[in-house]
Structure 1
Amino acid sequence: MAFRRRTKSYPLFSQEFVIHNHADIVFCLVLCVLIGLMFEVTAKTAFLFILPQYNISVPTADSETVHYHYGPKDLVTILFYVCITIILHAVVQEYILDVKHSKFNESGHLLVFHLSAVAWCFYVIVTEGYLTNPRSLWEDYPHVYLSFQVKFFYLGQLAYWLHSLPELYFQKVRKEEIPRQLQYICLYLLHITGAYLLNLSRLGLALLLLQYSTEALFHMARLFHFADENNERLFNAWAAVFGVTRLFILTLAVLTIGFGLARVENQVFDPEKGNFNTLPCRLGMLLLVCVAQAWLMWRFIHSQLRHWREYWKEQGAKRRVSAVPRLPAKLLKREPGYHENGVVKAENGTSSRTKKLKSP
């Protein structure tokens, strides 16, 4: 049990036992796959879990280049890397974000993921030459054959977002938070899977780079806000970047799908060859991207308006409190004489009260 500093033992195979030891259980499964590499009988099956499948050698002028395409065996590879991601998630949770605050832990994990994904995605785009040649986003479509790093990137992204589903159970996410998290998990899975299966991997890389950069800034601002509630500078920067990112994503999608693919000669629907470049398919792709961006923008505007209403409400309450005039303190009318042990004494030492005469 390497990933938990347990202070309490739970019954074997109980719900609490599985939740507190899920990383160790998954680690044992991964270890079994790695041990399978050591034996010739099981090595072929073990490689099916670890390495991307469906490789093909393409001859070039100098030598041969290995490319990949997708297929059903990718599900096995994705399952293995889902287990790897669960282990990494537990390591970050245990040794970096050991805080009993659900939103802080959520933003901490997502910040680590988005920063690493931005660096990985940018490296792939630069090395593949998509940044210097934007026309490559639609030229030579369908992009059936992928390089190793492009395919591995997509497998890793699918594995991460799929691992987020069981993590809702392992992290004991509150019921009111589950719908919100399911929304963005399913939205990422839909877009990444669509770009992978429809052979729009190059466009998907560009859009993910823009989206992940914005999300990294948001979670960074959120963490700074948890540390200092008066720190709103990063949120203001994120608000400006968010709107610009939506505009860039829509522009890039329309340019690639609406104009670039429309000019490609091969416009025949042929799923066996990976060609989905027809007018109905292009309209469906654009509609999906536009609806998603419009929904994100609507939620952003709604949250900003609610934030501004709360801010001006607080400011109005502060102004009303400061505008209320302070009444001067009432002066206490002291009786003549002085106080001694809580009793008023006359100046000559006698009591200031009139004495009652005793009846004879």
Structure 2
Amino acid sequence: MRFRRKVRSPAVLSHEFVIQNHADTAYSLVMSLLMGVVIKGPDKYAIMFVAVQYNVTYTTDDNSEQFHFYDYGPKDIATVVFYMLVAINLHAVIQEYILDKINRCLHLSKPKHSKFNESGQLVFFYLFSFVWGASILNTEEFMMIPTSLWRDYPHSRMLFQVKFFYVCQIAYWFHAVLELYFQKIQKEDIPRQLCYICLYIAHISGAYILNLHRLGLILMVPHYLVELIFHASRLVYLSDENNQKGFTIWALLFVMVRLLTLTLSVLTFGFGLARVENPEFSIADGNFNVLPVRIGCLGAVCLTQAWMMWKFIKFQLKKWREHVKNQIPRKKINNTKNKRTKGTKQRNKANFVNGAAKLGGEAPPRIRRSKPL
């Protein structure tokens, strides 16, 4: 009688143990922090992780109305850590209950499996962020008034939904760095993913710290729409390689959004903020409108857009070369078919001699002459 071999569980705090149980660990930390908010004593520390910090309240002269705004500070790091743990839990739920089930039906190879998981996670994030960011722009008036991007700078006071949006964005992209380890991403894919993750963290954190959240929000929403179309098209392409219509729409919108980003950046840093330049660099007031900062921000945006356009052109050239390579064998096959048909026609014509058809290119059968009696 055979006994089944027991699968050994990995050692505690080993790499396999951390990877297998990272979602449960993050979930337990989230629940412990939420319970800490209820319990008296540790609530003053737990609230720093869960709630958005640095609330500033303004009242009118007659005390009839109050306005609540938010600033930023070092305590935001704790809030980012908490929502980073929440993002790890959501990532695990989407992976287990949606993407893994679809992967079992598609039976993809390992490289395609990795790309499918990456695009699947990003589609959910980009869709959620685009809808959320578009709703904020819909309620704010600076979307329709370009001068509001630099008027009354510094914009050190944020509404709750704007600050919470930025906190969640920064938390998600920091969580994406950890997921490179948790998801066992292939070594050749890590530099590519780490590159765009670091660019997101640098640009979003820069807009948040430098009080450029209005410009950052306007640039993020159309960019997320383009990325949503790209990754949705890639999901469709991985399931059906003949369907590539989404990439055409993505290519058109990609170029338009790059031009929009450059135009708004040059308009804001080169013309708008230059007119209301601050003579000194003031961290206390949150006013960073000095020439070196503006040149650095504009240079970072322009270099990033140029790099993205370079990658885009390389991608399009690669697709074009693959299309040409696929067309060349088809032409050869068609030419060989045409040659064969021409050859057979010529043989058939040659086989007709003196009105008698030759069979298989052979000589016609002899006609027997009758012997004289």
Q: Normalising to structure 2: TM-score of the pair?
A: 0.84
How do 1:10-29 and structure 2 match up within 5 A? 10-13=9-12, 14-29=14-29
> Which residue of 1 is the match for residue 180 of structure 2?
168
Tell me if structure 1 keeps the 8 A contact 2:278–2:288.
no
How many Å separate the matches in 2 of 1:206 and 1:8? Answer: 52
| 1:5-41 Cα shifts (integer Å, max 9, x gaps) | xx96622423223212211111011111111122111
Aligned residue number for residue 54 of structure 1: 54
Q: How many angstroms does 1:266 deviate by?
A: 4.1
Q: Which has the higher helix share?
A: 2
Of 11-20 and 21-30, the range deviating more from structure 2: 11-20
Please point out which of 114, 120, 125 is paired with 2:126. Answer: 114
Please state how far the C-alpha of 1:130 moved relative to its aligned partner.
2.0
Alignment of 1:115-134 (within 5 A): 115-134=127-146
For the residue of structure 2 that corresponds to 1:268, the secondary structure is coil
Q: Which amino acid aligns with 1:65?
A: F
- Counterparts of 1:151 and 1:9 in 2: how far apart (Å)? 46
Distance 1:20 1:47 in 2: 29
> For residue 45 of structure 1, what is the amino acid of its counterpart?
Y
Counterpart of 1:272 in 2: which secondary structure?
Answer: coil
Match of 2:96 in 1: 94
1:220 maps to amino acid: A
| Residue 296 (str. 1) matches residue 308 (str. 2) | yes
CA distance in 2, matches of 1:38, 1:96: 33
Contact map agreement 1:37 1:47 (CA 8 A) in 2: yes
For residue 60 of structure 1, report the CA deviation from its aligned partner. Answer: 3.1
Q: CA RMSD in A?
A: 2.0
- Residue 205 of structure 1: aligned partner: 217
- Corresponding letter in the other structure for 2:69: H
**Aligned counterparts of 2:133 and 2:60: Cα–Cα separation in 1:** 26
Q: Does 1:79 align with 2:91?
A: no
Cα deviation for residue 295 of structure 1 reads 0.4
Instruction: Tell me the alpha carbon deviations over residues 200-229 of structure 1, each in whole angstroms, 9 at most, x when there is no partner.
Output: 000000010121111001001111111211
Corresponding residue of 1:236:
248
CA contact (8 A) 2:277 2:290 kept: no
Asked whether the 8 Å contact 1:210–1:249 carries over to 2, the reply is no
Cα–Cα, structure 1 residues 80 and 8, in superposed 2: closer, same or farther, change >3 Å?
A: farther
User: 1:71-101 CA distances to partner (integer Å, 9 max, x unpaired)?
Assistant: 1111111000000000000000001111261
Per mean C-alpha deviation after superposition, the further-off stretch among 321-330 and 156-165 is 321-330
- 1:336 aligned residue: none
Task: Between 49-58 and 152-161, report the one with greater CA deviation.
Answer: 49-58
Which residue does 1:35 correspond to in 2? 35
What code does the residue aligned with 1:11 have?
P
Q: Alpha carbons of 1:289 and 1:313: their partners in 2 closer, same or farther (altered >3 Å)?
A: same
1:93–1:9 Cα change, 3 Å = farther
34-43 or 153-162, which moves further after superposition? 34-43
Question: In the alignment, what sits opposite 2:190?
Answer: 178
What is the rounded CA distance, in whole Å, between the counterparts of 1:247 and 1:54 in structure 2? 36
In the alignment, residue 185 of structure 2 is paired with which amino acid? V
State the one-letter code of the partner of 1:16. Answer: E
Matches of 1:137 and 1:47 in 2, distance apart? 33
Map of 1:358 onto structure 2: none
For 2:56, what is the secondary structure of its paired residue?
A: strand
Q: Percent identity?
A: 50
- Counterpart-to-counterpart distance in 1, 2:291 and 2:236: 46
Distance 1:331 1:40 in 2: 102
SS in 1 for 2:69: strand
Deviation of 1:133 after TM superposition, in Å, equals: 2.5
CA distance in 2, matches of 1:187, 1:55: 29
Partner Cα separation in structure 2 for residue 307 and residue 39 of structure 1 = 59
Deviation string, structure 1 residues 241-274 (Cα, Å, up to 9, x no partner): 1111100000011111211111226453212211
Higher alpha-carbon deviation: 205-214 or 8-17: 8-17
Matched residue, 2:351 = none
Amino acid at match of 1:291: L
